[in-house]
Structure 1
């Protein structure tokens, strides 16, 4: 089947000769066995050419839905094409939950795992840490299962699409829980300077938003368990007088319910409702992770060039993520704070500013999010991700013929 496919934001049109939407795992195996080059595309919520190919592109959204809860109700086995917004209500109906979600439920689970996508919370690790096993079709068409007992597992979970096609995953689940969401306006810079660690820890999930037109943060979004309500001001910020959207000018109805109204985890932890497009898609995104202890230094570093940043920025979100043991995770062995930039949809205007931010954050060993726009050199990536060389060896073993390689991946795995 030949058609043209773009990413969610529309800034990347994939160069695939053919696009396939298989309806069974056997069909995926036949496609892979025919040889490469080929890549897999999830929900397309990436902003670089990670999923691009000059050969065949595989979309897994048409695989039969699989949501199978284990007998002990501690895990769920799912298919490789399901999105969080499809999975979450099915878990909720069985009294179960995931430990966290990303900001938007529209993304595919397998795609989010491949890039170490995350939510927020000082005790919450990124979404990939919920994976207890994965089933993938490797470059020769073999179906392989890896679990936490396998020594390759920590390198295979965040895999950048380099090891094979993920056809099924098993995720840890927990008993369902309710969340209250609160939004506060005008967070003073003085409070950020004096109390940032306390701010980021004051909820199940906490986000600060700024447009960098000044030093104060525009908003704070706090998500607390329903049995932990709050009232009054917050570190000098005032409760919002109405519903808010993280991106200035976007309709607040797209956002999940606020004002402390309790609701199930999957209806509060994301910022956006599944039934609405989270934004117009007219944007680029970048994100950098620094050690949590360097969070204020990172904020100061960006603030120093805010006159360059603000004109091309829609909003910047600041969140905390717990450390993990996954080789290519930006949070590998480091409790982190992430600065996420939503830019205007103008690559030529954004790239020079992005370069300036990377220079500012370089002394803090800022690790980029794999699915966003970044210009970090491959040699620098090797210093930032200490297991990247080990991952390159893993790729060579699982895909010796380079079926899943592309120009972007070759660049990432390069030592130059």
Structure 2
């Protein structure tokens, strides 16, 4: 796969995982907003392409793929407003260092710093923490090129804003975003192994609230949780020492990778060594590629008060999906008000599955998982593989119809529609 950050003009044929071959003959990488406007206004089928880390056809089109990675790169920090206005094609790993040197931070980061800011926000990508909203929750304003090449700017408080942040590329090509900032901070990261299942289920909220960000990694083998990654914010009292035992789990004796048996060299530093927020909140380091894309991913969000019951429902069917699993991860995400955010309106727990790269085998297993999680209103991650039917999505998202109307108003001719949107948001008129 061509490194999109290099602004290469040639077509990129597959996504990062290699499970999707794009239908477009060419990827255009405009070097100015004016050039982007010309491309959009001249196209009848246009889609924005980020770093290609989605595992489904959300970015696919038989028409024109457009990357904004070639637009002039800018990071404009407003110290008084505590915001940063950034070019949409930046990857988080390219943004966080300059923000930290300015004395600021983002409230949350995903496990990969390699993903683009615009792409992550458009698909509802998140980080972790009981008090931390997803990545698009930080968006205060955005600018996008809509059908016909018109530039539209929206900000928090505008009537359409909550429908435009997690928009799946359906409204236009985002060029700039303004993000809320917090003061820079440091994180210590520890890994514990062998968390007894009874401790997790009996004290779920306590376990997930033990640090600024908590991730549980499990192979769903019916025993203890394999690993718990605690990312603890360093307080004014300075770095702390971790106990050897925590809720029955033991402190790891060395660095760990989430997938058993894989070397930890690509992971962010552990064992309690303090470091800046952007070097600890992700699981993986920017300077390394964490894998070769040899995987598929799925993720489902349930309300946090249903987390234990949802865990138990998955545990009952684990033998049906665990043979295809590389690793599972469980994280918390705070509620937001964005229409298509999987955490919209409810504090959530996300059950993540990293699968072996076998679409034919994984696809039927997803239906088994979705059936097990159906009583809990499980919402799928928009950028990962899922089978959830459009009628069910309409039930799960209270603003589903509002978003359909918004797309019709922003894009009446369907310039940005593709098969993914046509399936999940069918137009009846």
Deviation of 1:17 (Å): 2.5
Taking structure 1 as the reference length, the TM-score comes to 0.98
Aligned to 1:412: 424
Superposed displacement of residue 73, structure 1? 5.3
Give the Cα–Cα distance (whole angstroms) in 2 for the partners of residues 30 and 415 of structure 1: 27
**Counterpart position of 1:204:** 212
CA drift of 1:313 comes to: 0.2
Native 8 Å contact 2:297 2:384 kept in 1: yes
- 1:222-233 correspondence runs (5 A): 222-227=230-235, 229=240, 230-233=242-245
Q: Does 1:145 align with 2:157?
A: no
After superposition, what is the alpha-carbon deviation per residue over 1:221-250, rounded to whole angstroms, capped at 9, x for unaligned? 000012263323111000001100112232
* Counterpart among 411, 414, 417 of residue 402 in structure 1: 414
Q: How far off is 1:191 after superposition? A: 0.3
- Give 2:275's match in structure 1, choosing from 257, 260, 263: 263
User: In structure 2, what is the Cα distance between the partners aligned to 1:27 and 1:183?
Assistant: 48
In structure 1, which of residues 10, 15, 30 is the aligned counterpart of residue 23 of structure 2? 15
* One of 158, 166, 172 as aligned partner of 1:164: 172
Corresponding residue to 1:27 among 26, 35, 48: 35
Give the counterpart of 2:297 among 267, 285, 291. 285
Q: Does the 8 Å contact 1:117/1:128 carry over to 2?
A: yes
Tell me how far apart the structure 2 counterparts of residues 71 and 95 of structure 1 sit (CA, whole Å).
Answer: 9
Q: Report what 1:65 is aligned to.
A: 73
> Quick one: distance in 1 between partners of 2:249 and 2:32?
52
3-state SS, counterpart of residue 216 of structure 2: strand
Structure 2 portions without partners, runs of 5+: 1-8
- Distance in 2 (CA, whole Å) between partners of 1:36 and 1:2 is 20
Structure 2 CA distance, aligned partners of 1:35 and 1:316? 40
- Asked whether the 8 Å contact 1:379–1:415 carries over to 2, the reply is no
User: TM-score, normalized by length of structure 2?
Assistant: 0.95
Among 366, 370, 389, the residue aligned to 1:354: 366
Task: Name the SS for the 1:254 alignment partner.
Answer: coil
Counterpart CA distance in 2 for 1:326 and 1:177 is 27
2:253 aligns with 241
The alignment covers a number of residue pairs equal to 416
Q: Distance in 2 between matches of 1:73 and 1:389?
A: 34
Matched, 1:76 2:76: no
Give 5+ residue unaligned stretches, structure 1. Answer: none
In the alignment, structure 1 residue 336 sits paired with structure 2 residue 344: no
Provide the rounded CA distance (Å) in 1 between the counterparts of 2:265 and 2:81. 34
Q: Write out aligned runs for 1:88-127 (5 A).
A: 88-127=96-135
Asked whether the 8 Å contact 1:106–1:274 carries over to 2, the reply is yes
| 2:338 aligned residue | 326
Deviations 1:114-146 (A, max 9, x none): 011000000001010100000000011100100
- 1:135 corresponds to 2:147: no
Q: By how many angstroms is 1:6 displaced?
A: 1.1
* Cα displacement (A) at 1:80: 1.2
Taking only aligned residues, the RMSD between alpha carbons, in angstroms, comes to 1.2
For 2:402 and 2:30, locate their aligned partners in 1 and report how far apart those are by CA, in whole Å: 32
Q: 1:385 aligns with which of 392, 397, 403?
A: 397
Q: What's the offset of the Cα at 1:83?
A: 0.3
| Cα distance in 2, alignment partners of residues 362 and 38 from structure 1 | 34
